[in-house]
Structure 1
């Protein structure tokens, strides 16, 4: 992930989606130095959209034909 972010930083847009809160990314990325580097480049110029509504999938009935 670090290589992708490094290659695109300041040159191109990058869309990232996650079901993991940004505050817990350090735990998932492992190495704190790499996590700091990735988060610095992603979060610094990011346009974040946090969805707070309940999942649309829960309770949704499926109909089969």
Structure 2
């Protein structure tokens, strides 16, 4: 369902996504590298990534 949401919003509406999981570990989150890569492909197209390295609260 997350893939469908991202796919439908792609290039049509703004989406803000926050995570404390590095993109390299999304395969583990979705348990499917193909789906994880497809989601990341859509999320990271025309994106501004803000990497915050400070302590998380």
Please, what is the CA RMSD of the aligned residues?
Answer: 1.2
CA separation in 2, counterparts of 1:36 and 1:52? 24
Structure 2: unaligned runs, 5 residues or longer? none
**TM-score in terms of structure 2 length:** 0.85
Higher helix share: 2
The answer for unaligned runs of 5 or more in structure 1 is 58-65
Runs ≥4 in structure 1, deviation > 3 angstroms? Answer: none
TM-score (norm 1): 0.76
Pick the structure with greater CA Rg. 1
Report how many aligned residue pairs link the two structures: 56
